[in-house]
Amino acid sequence: MNAAFDARLKAELDALRAAGTYKTLKHLTGPMAAEVHMQEAGDVVVLSSNNYLGLADDPEVIQAGIDGLRTYGAGTASVRFICGTLQIHRELEERIASFFGFGAALSYVSCWSANEGLIPTIATAGNTIISDELNHASIIDGCRLAAAKRTRYKHGDMDDLERKLREADGTAFIITDGVFSMEGSLANLPDIVGLAQRYGAVTIVDDSHGTGVMGKTGRGTIEHFGLEGKIDILTGTLGKALGGAAGGFVAGSPALIDTLIQRSRTQLFSNALPATVAASSLAAINRLAACPELLDRQHANIAYFRAGLARLGFRPLDGPSAIIPIIVGDTAFAIAMSDRLLKRGVFVTGFGFPVVPEGTARIRVQMSSALTRAELDRALAAFEAVGTELGVIGNQPVGSADFKGSELR
C-alpha cells in the first residue's frame, strides 16, 4: 500500500470520527427479524430495518430461495443477453409487471443498478430530466450519468416543477421518490401527473419505500393515490419489504423494457439477479398478495407506536408511511440517543448532517408488521427511559411539527 495514500485515508477517517459521523458496522448472528442478536449489543428489538412486512425470515420466502438455488445453481456466470437469463427471471418479471399493473418489467441486481441503468438510457442528449432535490442517491447518480439537461426542483414544490417544465428541452422526464426515506412523506403524485399531462412529460417514480407499505394492497404510492395507469415508469427494490435480500426492477411499457434490454448498461455489462434471490423475491410478492393481514398489522403497529411516542411527549413528523422520524436537531445528540437506545435493547439509527440538513438530525423509526405489542412496549419503555435521561421529555415536546424538508435544502 502506498504509505502516503494510506496516511491520507487515515486522516480522513479521523476527521469523520472527530465530526461524530464515523459509522460502525453492527454484526447480526442470525436473520433480520423483529428481534435480532447483535454481536455488539446482544438481543435487540429492530426499529431501523426496511423489513416492513417481516418477510426477510419468512419460511416460504426462505424455502423459495433454497429451491431456487437447487434448481438453478448459483447463477449463469454471464450477463443476461449472452447466456444469463433464467426461467425464474421471466417468472419474477411477469409477476412484477402484473402486480404493479405495468405492461412489462425487468429485474436488476439492485434498485441502485435499475436507476443507473434506466435514467441515462432514456434521458439522452437534447432531452431534460427534472428531479426532486431530495431524491435518493441512486437517482442523483443515475441523473449524473445522463447526457440530458439536468435540473432539480425544490422538494415537493409544484410551482418550481412547473417552471422547470416550461424551460425543458425535448422530452421532459419528471423523476421522484414515491416515499421520501428521511421524512416519510409522499411525493405529490396527483399534481405531478397533472403537470406531466399538461406539458407532455414522462413520469418516473422510484417507490422503494412505498412498495409493501402504501396503498390498500401494498402496491405502493401509486395505489395510495389511485393513479394506477397514470405513471409511465416505476422503479423499486426487492431489498426492502419484498424479501429484503437484494434486487431491483423497472416496470413500464413493453417498448421501454425492450429498450432497456438493448441499451441499459447495468443490464448489458453486469450479471443478472442470482436465481435464489429471484425466487425468494417472487415468493415475497406472492406472500404480500396473499396476506393482506401483513399490511393490517403494519398499519396497526404504526398507529400504536405513534400514539405511544405522543403519550411520552415525543412529536415525530407526521406522515402516512412506515417511517417515523423524530427530529432532535443536533447530529451528536441524535447519535448519543441512538447509542443509549441500543444499550437498552432497541436498534434505531440516528441520522445527522450530511445525510439530512444541518440542525435536523433525527432518530428514524421504521415500523414492521413483524413487531409484536410486547416488543413495541419494550421499545417505548426504552424511549421513555432515554428521553428522561437526556432531559428531552417531561419538559417540552421533542421533535418539530413545523419542520419542512423543502425549507432546509
Ligand X SMILES: *Cc1c(COP(=O)(O)O)cnc(C)c1O
Helix 292-312 to helix 373-389 angle, to the nearest 10 degrees? Answer: 30
Read off the C-alpha cell for 379. Answer: 421499545
Of residues 113, 209, 264, 368, which has the active-site annotation? 209
Marked catalytic residue, from 138, 181, 321, 338:
181
* Alpha-carbon gap, residue 398 to 395, rounded angstroms: 9
Residue placing its CB nearer to ligand X in the complex, 284 or 380 = 284
Interface with ligand X includes 209 (CB under 6 A)?
yes
Sort residue 248 into left (φ over 0), alpha (ψ -120 to 50) or beta. beta
Cα atoms found within 13 Å of the Cα of residue 45, Cβ hemisphere only: 24
**252-281 positions binding ligand X, by CB under 6 A:** none
238 or 382: CB nearest ligand X: 238
Closest C-alpha among 284, 271, 220 to residue 92: 284
CA distance 173 to 1: 45
Residue 206 in the binding site for ligand X (CB under 6 A): yes
Q: Is 208 in the site for ligand X (CB under 6 A)?
A: yes
How far apart CA 116 and CA 216 sit, in angstroms, is 30
Give me 224's grid cell.
Answer: 395510495
89 binds ligand X (CB under 6 A): no
Binding-site member from 248, 274, 325, 387 for ligand X (CB under 6 A): 248
Active site residue 404: no
Residue 170 grid cell: 425535448
Judged by phi (left if over 0) then psi (alpha if -120 to 50, else beta), residue 183 lies in: alpha
User: Which one is catalytic: 240, 280, 321, 369?
Assistant: 240
Q: Rule CB under 6 A: which of 371-400 touch ligand X?
A: none
Query: Is 240 one of the annotated active-site residues of the chain?
Result: yes
**Residue 117 interacts with ligand X (CB under 6 A): yes or no:** no
Our answer to whether residue 37 is catalytic in this structure is: no
Q: Which of residues 165-194 bind ligand X (CB under 6 A)?
A: 177, 181
Query: Taking the complex as a whole, how short is the minimal distance between the CB of residue 90 and ligand X, in angstroms?
Result: 20
Residue ranges in 221-240 that form contacts with ligand X under rule CB under 6 A = 237, 239
Give the side-chain half-sphere CA count within 13 A for 126: 1
User: Binding residues for ligand X, per CB under 6 A?
Assistant: 110-112, 136, 138, 177, 181, 206, 208-209, 237, 239, 248
Name the residues annotated as catalytic: 181, 209, 240
